[in-house]
């Protein structure tokens, strides 16, 4: 008799998710669905509001990456009012943004995704958390991680007022100057962050890469998908989180497109499926061909794995070394292994840390001109950043008073949604055989999406409901036989 497995709520991710696994009469997986069961409707309730409220409203989409929404929204306002912020303001924004990236990537590796690797995917679930990680790596190391994140957050608070839902960005600039004292603190923290990033990469190499059983999991077919990859790049085609052009490479690693954020609607369209609240974006000119990978399917991926694939290198020296090592170890570009996201994330962490040091050392950052007042009549604005979880688009249209008439948000996890759905389906099919599944196997299925660090608060930026992860198992008649709550 067939069965259906549902994993709901999914743990250790931001936002809520549900996995439904349908088994056939042999007990093998017929289809696994990864669902996001809630809708909030931010795009709708933005309508009729002053555009300048948007950096405040949209940061509330997500408590994990409020800074990403805040900055993307602020950049959309720059574009809306056709105002180019002064260099000091841009640098302050990018500095805060880099600090946020270090903090967020560290959160994911040590608190959310890391426990699967540091403790092993089959460890009992009571220890598979940050406390377990602390035990395994030692309390001293744990304290280091904790102290690091705390310092980073204090500095974001210093400039942004709050670390969650910061209030730094204004159209045309930022709201607060940087004093030399704060600048010096950034220089110090930046250096510590570089050390911390190198330490994290070493931990990854020692615990994960030196263990062939982990490497086998990472490179196994269950966690592999050949899709297009998207990421923001600077003028040298290096990874950039704050600004630049969007580059897309095909599954062979060749450049498929490079375009300005303002052109995204020519490149990307969205597809709706009846079983989830997430909309699935795809490359418009290739088309939606269902949940399939390969060059003929318009499905693309974002986030660390994709960003490294979509770029030609990293803009800072140490990160570049690791960039080369990463592709050498994993068999050249592009890397299609979903779980390699964890390693790529740490390389990005190093880049962001080095970028903090660069920006904080720039004398211009303490300049007095932090804002140019907008004086043009607003009409339409688009802002893009690389959120920790991938490319994030904010697009607003307004009337001549700057009151929003239409808003469209294409969010990082949404850009990844189709690939995540495929990953969960494939992992389930590969791991559940003849009706056999246990906690370890179910956790390995969860690992398939946790690697993306998905954020469903963002992906639905939309509302009703709650949604941690539940796994439900259904038989071939659609009757629920098991439910496992996480």
Residue 57 near another protein by CB under 8 A: yes
CB atoms within 10 A of CB 308: 28
Enumerate residues 6+ apart whose C-beta is below 8 A from 325: none
Count of other CB atoms within 10 angstroms of residue 238: 18
Alpha carbon of residue 131 to chain centroid: 24
Give the residue with the Cβ less far from another protein, 307 or 486: 486
Each residue 190-219 as x (binds another protein by CB under 8 A) or -, in order, gives ------------------------------
- Cα separation of 8 and 64, whole Å? 20
| Segment lying near another protein (by CB under 8 A), choices 51-59, 220-228, 413-421, 474-482 | 51-59
Give the count of beta carbons closer than 10 Å to the beta carbon of residue 483. 15
Q: Is 170 in the site for another protein (CB under 8 A)?
A: yes
466 interacts with another protein by CB under 8 A: yes
Which residue in the set 149, 238, 355, 450 belongs to the binding site for another protein (CB under 8 A)? Answer: 149
Q: Which stretch binds another protein (CB under 8 A): 36-44, 193-201, 320-328, 388-396?
A: 36-44
| Binds another protein (CB under 8 A): choice among 27, 28, 49, 333 | 49
In 183-267, DSSP assigns E strands to: 228-233, 245-249, 255-259
Residue 208 C-beta: closest distance to another protein, Å:
20
Q: Which of 6, 19, 61, 303 binds another protein (CB under 8 A)?
A: 61
- Pairing between strand 390-398 and 300-301? unpaired
129 binds another protein (CB under 8 A): yes
Stretch that binds another protein, among 50-58, 70-78, 216-224, 328-336 (CB under 8 A): 50-58
45 binds another protein (CB under 8 A): yes
Based on CB atoms, which residue is closest to another protein, 274 or 332?
A: 274
Query: Of 439, 448, 422, 346, nearest to 108 (Cα)?
Result: 346
Dihedral angle sign, alpha carbons of residues 296, 301, 306, 310: positive
**Of the listed pieces 24-32, 154-162, 257-265, 338-346, which binds another protein according to CB under 8 A?**
154-162
Interaction of residue 463 with another protein, rule CB under 8 A: yes
Residue whose CB is less far from another protein, 62 or 359: 62
Q: Which stretch binds another protein (CB under 8 A): 42-50, 229-237, 380-388, 474-482?
A: 42-50
Tokens 């509330």, residue? 60
Contact 29, 22 (CB under 8 A): yes
Stretch that binds another protein, among 163-171, 213-221, 301-309, 389-397 (CB under 8 A): 163-171
What is the DSSP secondary-structure string of 280-332? EEEETTT---SS--STTS--EE-SHHHHHHHSSB-SSHHHHHHHHHHHHHTTS
Between 40 and 480, CB nearer to another protein: 40
Letters for 388-417 (x = contact with another protein by CB under 8 A, - = none) are ------------------------------
Could you tell me which residues are beta bridge partners of residue 233? 239, 245
Q: If we measure between CA atoms, which residue out of 230, 277, 303 comes closest to residue 457?
A: 277
Of 316, 407, 406, the C-alpha closest to 355 is: 316
Is the distance from CB of 445 to CB of 20 less than 8 angstroms? no
Tell me which of 27, 28, 31, 60 binds another protein, using CB under 8 A.
60
Q: Interface with another protein includes 462 (CB under 8 A)?
A: yes
Tokens describing residue 341: 């996201």
Residues 69 and 392 sit within 8 Å (Cβ to Cβ):
yes
Residues that bind another protein (CB under 8 A): 9, 11-16, 37-41, 43-45, 47-50, 53, 56-57, 60-64, 66, 107, 111-112, 125-126, 128-130, 146-147, 149-150, 153, 160-165, 167-168, 170, 175-176, 272, 274, 277, 279, 457, 462-466, 468, 485-486
């Amino acid at each position: 008799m067939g069965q259906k497995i549902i994993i709901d709520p999914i743990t250790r991710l931001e936002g809520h998710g549900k996995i439904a696994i349908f088994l056939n009469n042999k007990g093998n997986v017929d289809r696994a669905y990864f669902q996001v069961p809630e809708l909030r409707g931010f795009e709708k309730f933005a309508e009729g509001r002053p555009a300048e409220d948007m950096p405040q409203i949209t940061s509330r989409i997500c408590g994990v990456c409020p800074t990403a929404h805040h900055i993307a929204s602020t950049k959309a306002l720059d574009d809306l009012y056709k105002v180019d912020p002064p260099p000091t303001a841009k640098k302050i924004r990018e500095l805060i943004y880099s600090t946020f990236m270090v903090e967020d990537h560290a959160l994911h590796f040590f608190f959310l995704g890391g426990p699967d690797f540091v403790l092993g995917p089959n460890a009992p679930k009571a220890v598979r958390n940050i406390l377990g990680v602390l035990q395994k790596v030692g309390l001293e190391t744990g304290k280091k991680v904790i102290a690091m994140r705390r310092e980073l957050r204090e500095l974001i608070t210093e400039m942004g007022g709050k670390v969650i839902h910061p209030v730094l960005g204004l159209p045309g600039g930022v709201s607060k100057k940087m004093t030399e004292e704060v600048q010096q603190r950034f220089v110090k923290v930046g250096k510590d962050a570089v050390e911390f990033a190198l330490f994290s990469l070493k931990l990854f190499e020692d615990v994960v890469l030196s263990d062939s059983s982990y490497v086998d999991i990472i490179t196994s077919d269950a966690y592999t998908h050949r899709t297009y990859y998207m990421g923001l790049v600077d003028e040298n085609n290096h990874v950039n989180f704050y600004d630049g052009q969007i580059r897309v490479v095909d599954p062979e690693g060749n450049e498929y497109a490079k375009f300005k954020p303002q052109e995204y609607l020519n490149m990307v369209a969205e597809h709706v499926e009846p079983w989830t609240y997430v909309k699935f974006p795809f490359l418009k000119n290739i088309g939606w061909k269902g949940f399939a990978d390969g060059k003929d399917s318009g499905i693309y991926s974002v986030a660390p794995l994709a960003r490294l694939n979509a770029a030609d290198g990293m803009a800072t020296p140490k990160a570049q070394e690791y960039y080369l090592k990463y592709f050498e170890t994993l068999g050249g570009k592009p890397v299609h292994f979903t779980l390699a996201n964890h390693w790529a994330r740490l390389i990005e962490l190093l880049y962001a840390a080095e970028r903090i040091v660069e920006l904080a050392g720039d004398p211009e950052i303490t300049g007095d001109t932090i804002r140019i007042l907008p004086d043009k009549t607003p009409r339409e604005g688009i802002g893009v950043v690389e959120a920790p979880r991938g490319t994030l688009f904010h697009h607003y249209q307004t009337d001549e008073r700057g009151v929003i008439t239409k808003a469209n948000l294409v969010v990082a996890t949404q850009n990844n949604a189709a690939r995540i759905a495929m990953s969960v389906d494939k992992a389930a099919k590969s791991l559940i055989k003849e009706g056999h599944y246990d906690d370890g196997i179910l956790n390995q299925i969860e690992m398939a999406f946790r690697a993306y660090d998905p954020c469903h608060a963002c992906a639905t930026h939309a509302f009703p409901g709650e949604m941690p992860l539940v796994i439900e198992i259904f038989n071939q008649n659609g009757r629920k036989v098991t439910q496992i709550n996480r």
